[in-house]
């Protein structure tokens, strides 16, 4: 029997007072477990509940080259054929990938991630913390640079690590800006968010992922290149470009998923950066 797709945030009361992302990030405890030479698990404990992030290294670790960690989009439970393109963009690097909390299957995602905005916030926090764990592992094993990247949800995670940690050597968020509440209450999601009109009045939801001005102002802008699509129906270019004003932005005449057509341009950005390290 197929699972009927639930609506976003249907578990949550319309007037629920949501915690800020920064609060969830700061209150999540982690346990970093190395399973073998190529696999890790990050246990994330928040509010009495444990959730898991998985990390995979797709090659034998080489301490003489840079490392990159790449994060998938929302609802993607496998990298599949995309992995080939990711490997090409980041060729010459150790490649780590993240599998976010409750993304082990479509059923897991639908039932345990998308029906509560708090679950979403925990998911983003867990991925940011997993990046930090792998970055620390890399630093302990290599003196070479560490790069963070991802598309859509993965681009948001990349941006959040940039603002709240900023200790990687380079960031490449793709089709993303970090205000998740604003994103989910946007027009693209109007038919799939439960009680969207009422939820648009919930200021704690709209502001949960706001980047404080002092955090944004102190960010090292030399470390990041932001990739946007001018015809993106999800991450609206006008909104994203306004948020990223003053940062290094590369905007292409593509939509959201069609950013894959610019894989050569993404490869060029990364390869030129690697040469400059």
The domains found in the chain, sorted by start residue, are 21-276 (3.40.50.1820)
pLDDT tens digit string along 245-261? 999 999 999 999 999 99
DSSP label at 149? E
Whether 45 contacts 30, CB under 8 Å: yes
pTM of the model: 0.96
Give the ranges where the chain is alpha helix by DSSP (H): 21-27, 82-89, 106-112, 117-141, 153-164, 180-184, 196-199, 203-207, 213-218, 237-243, 263-276
Task: State yes or no: pLDDT of 95 exceeds 90.
Answer: yes
Assign 194 a pLDDT band (cuts: 50, 70, 90): very high
Q: Which of 277, 232, 259, 224 is nearest to 89 (CA)?
A: 259
- Rounded mean pLDDT of 186-213? 94
pLDDT attached to residue 107: 86
> CA 186: distance to chain centroid?
18
Question: What is the distance between the alpha carbons of residues 175 and 2, in angstroms, rounded to a whole number?
Answer: 31
Query: What average pLDDT score do residues 24-29 get?
Result: 98
Place of tokens 């001005």: 213
């Amino acid at each position: 029997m197929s699972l009927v797709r639930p609506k976003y945030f249907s578990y949550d009361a319309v007037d629920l007072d949501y915690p800020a992302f920064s609060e969830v990030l700061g209150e999540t405890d982690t346990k970093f477990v190395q399973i073998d030479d190529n696999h890790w698990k990050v246990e994330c404990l928040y509010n009495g509940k444990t959730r898991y992030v998985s990390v995979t290294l797709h090659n034998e670790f080489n301490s003489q080259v840079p490392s990159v960690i790449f994060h998938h989009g929302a609802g993607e439970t496998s990298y599949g054929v995309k992995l080939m393109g990711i490997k090409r963009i980041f060729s010459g690097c150790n490649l780590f990938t993240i599998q976010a909390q409750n993304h082990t299957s479509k059923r897991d995602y639908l039932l345990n991630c998308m029906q509560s905005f708090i679950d979403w916030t925990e998911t983003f926090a867990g991925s940011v913390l997993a990046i930090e764990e792998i970055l620390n592992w890399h630093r302990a094993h290599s003196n070479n640079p560490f790069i963070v990247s991802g598309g859509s949800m993965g681009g948001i995670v990349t941006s959040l690590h940039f603002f709240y940690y900023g200790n990687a050597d380079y960031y490449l968020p793709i089709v993303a800006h970090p205000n998740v509440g604003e994103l989910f209450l946007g027009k693209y999601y109007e038919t799939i968010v439960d009680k969207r009109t009422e939820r648009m009045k919930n200021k704690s939801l709209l502001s949960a992922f706001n980047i404080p001005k002092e955090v944004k102002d102190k960010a090292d802008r030399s470390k990041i290149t932001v990739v946007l699509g001018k015809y993106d129906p999800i991450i609206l270019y006008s909104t994203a470009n306004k948020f990223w004003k003053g940062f290094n932005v590369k905007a292409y005449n593509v939509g959201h998923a069609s950013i894959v057509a610019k894989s050569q341009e993404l490869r060029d950005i990364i390869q030129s950066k690697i040469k400059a390290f």
